[in-house]
Amino acid sequence: MLKKKSLFPIERLHLIAGFSLVLSGIMAFFIYDVEMAISWGVFGAMYISMSDIGEGDMSEEDRNHPLHINRRVFGYAGASFSLILVFYYLAILFN
């Protein structure tokens, strides 16, 4: 049986969110203060460290389990919101 590969596996979603949040932290330093920058940086680093869930090694049954489906939904939400945050901070910096 062929394993269906996701276009955006959970590991990649976590990396997108993590690096976006670290970048947001850098931009927040120039907009707000060091406290906000460190908060975003820590949060982003935690996302990056969670990026090795191993979805590629999971069975089809595990990937279809409701808990993993929830993890994917929130992975997409985290990646999407973190990218929105990057663009929001870019808009503030360049306006």
User: Any idea where the domains of the chain sit in the sequence?
Assistant: 10-93
Q: Per-residue pLDDT for 14 more than 70?
A: yes
What is the pLDDT at residue 4? 60
67, 75 contact by CB (below 8 A)? no
As a whole number, mean pLDDT of residues 83-91 equals 96
Beta strands in 1-95 (DSSP E): none
- Closest listed residue to residue 47, CA positions, set 69, 66, 21: 21
pTM of the model: 0.81
% residues pLDDT > 90 (the chain): 53
